[in-house]
Structure 1
């Protein structure tokens, strides 16, 4: 990855970490899930509002490293307005990206693309995928 792109990605990640989007809790959510990463101590409480198979709202609380918390911020932004199927499909795409696999370059990942470099650090992949796995589990269980 070029140094400029690396710098841009780093600044996007830190922006989401310092000013997380959708931080908080949906009081009367119909999907709530807690997950943690025992390896590093990251933990997340994710609440979703799903109406007619559409994720109408998504919020998270928790604590963890910059990768974990910025990924949760980006994920909640990305899935709002998506169908549950689209949200789960995005989680699969994200997992593939974290494994270093090629993904469809026409797919607009927005800020999530900034996490591409995490694939180079196997110990950090679980940090990045925690919120995505929580979302997928929450949707499948409800």
Structure 2
């Protein structure tokens, strides 16, 4: 594994307001507890295969400390489990932007969040596979 596999650089984070607005306006979504996933195929700068955004509801978690803790757990779980997903995107020559919106009503432990991230990435791969197969039909 290269050094970059262990980091979560700014280039992997979805920061562009334009892309974020497009994602929520035109993206497809599904729920994979504890996340709601909104995704959209995008054209990103060359070496980047995906950009992700993590969101935790201010309505459900009033305190910023708790929202930040949950986002940190989500980011860490994603960072450690994105390898397979990244290689899938590279092999299929796809680029996507996606948002992981935390929908659980309570604070979940890291292990539960990590399981959710793994399940979510697998389901996202299946959705992208299905969509790319329909595009070729």
Q: Same fold (TM over 0.5)?
A: no
- TM-score normalised to structure 2 length: 0.35
**TM-score by structure 1 length?**
0.34
Higher relative contact order structure (alpha carbons within 8 Å, sequence separation ≥ 6): 2
